[in-house]
Structure 1
Amino acid sequence: MAKNPRTPELDDIDAAIVRALIHNGRASNRQLATLAGVAESTAHTRLRSLETRGVIVGYEAVISPTALGNSIQALIGVSLRAGARQAHIEAFTAHVRRLPEVTQFFFVGGGDDFVIHIAVADSASLRQFVVEEISGHESVASTRTSIIFDYGRSQSLPVA
């Protein structure tokens, strides 16, 4: 497979650091150095380089929505109205970014224009959110809601 010319080159040390962080985003510099087989100073320099080059774009805590009182999660497929597509995309994106119930959203190709992952307290809150915040938006033509029963998060990415 041809390599994307804009993809930063990762050598074995960089790849080892990235793999370690995928599995444990809180790994210490010492742990990264050990796993990559390099000195701590080298691991530190490589980590900063990965951040500077945009390979590592941030670090985050994964929070349980249920622990915060949001026991219902759903995926909402959204189709936007035809005409003035770019204006609809921009307006809807700006709207969704402001909604605290939204945990993630994706602008996608296929049957839907957006897929939105939300977390809410109960089914009444879900209904209200879909009707008022999503279906009620002027750019939205239709929605399709799927309740999430369970989900997992992958602990891997293909690393060269």
Structure 2
Amino acid sequence: MTDEIDQLLISALMEDSRRSLKALAQLSGLSSPSVAERLRKLEERGVLKAYTVEVDPKHFGYLLEAIVRVRPLPGRLHEVERQIQAIPEFTECDKVTGEDCFIARMCVRSMEQLDGLLDRLNDYAETNTAIVKKSTVKRRLPPMG
């Protein structure tokens, strides 16, 4: 379990993973060595898995983001999974229950590129695609308490 101070540190790191130990110490009321020890323990327990940066794909020419529902054809599930993993424009993919076995997110430079990439799945699956207009909720943690 995590206590209120752990949750405060986690929330602060979710907002900015580059926060210094000194800043985290000031925020939590602990010393820098105490914060470092708490973070080490959270890492060891697998609560904190990574410290990351968020990059805007638009700066690399990826102007469109799409959500793709993928329904493999009979007997093609594993091949679909391999194809999705092999296409780097798929930035996330979840295997889900229901008729669509995969729900994926991809970044593309154009509609033409999107069509070409999805054509690679045509022999293995049916797809249904939606273009993301705006992300109203960015990836976030559920309530910790």
In the superposition, the TM-score normalised over structure 1's length comes to 0.81
Match of 1:107 in 2: 95
1:94 CA drift (Å): 3.1
Match of 1:130 in 2: 118
1:158 CA drift (Å): 1.3
Identity over the aligned pairs, expressed in percent?
Answer: 26
Structure 2 letter corresponding to 1:158: P
In the superposition, the TM-score normalised over structure 2's length comes to 0.89
Q: Point out 4+ residue stretches in structure 1 off by more than 6 angstroms.
A: none
User: In structure 1, which of residues 7, 17, 21 is the aligned counterpart of residue 9 of structure 2?
Assistant: 17
Question: How far apart in 2 are the matches of 1:35 and 1:93?
Answer: 43
Match of 1:6 in 2: none
Question: How far apart in 2 are the matches of 1:124 and 1:75?
Answer: 16
CA distance 1:39–1:114, shift in 2 (3 Å):
same
Question: How far apart in 2 are the matches of 1:155 and 1:35?
Answer: 20
RMSD of equivalent CA atoms:
1.8
Residue 127 of structure 2 is aligned to residue 143 of structure 1: yes
Q: Is the 8 A contact 1:23 1:155 kept in 2?
A: no
Structure 2 letter corresponding to 1:159: M
CA distance 1:38–1:114, shift in 2 (3 Å):
same
CA distance 1:27–1:89, shift in 2 (3 Å):
farther
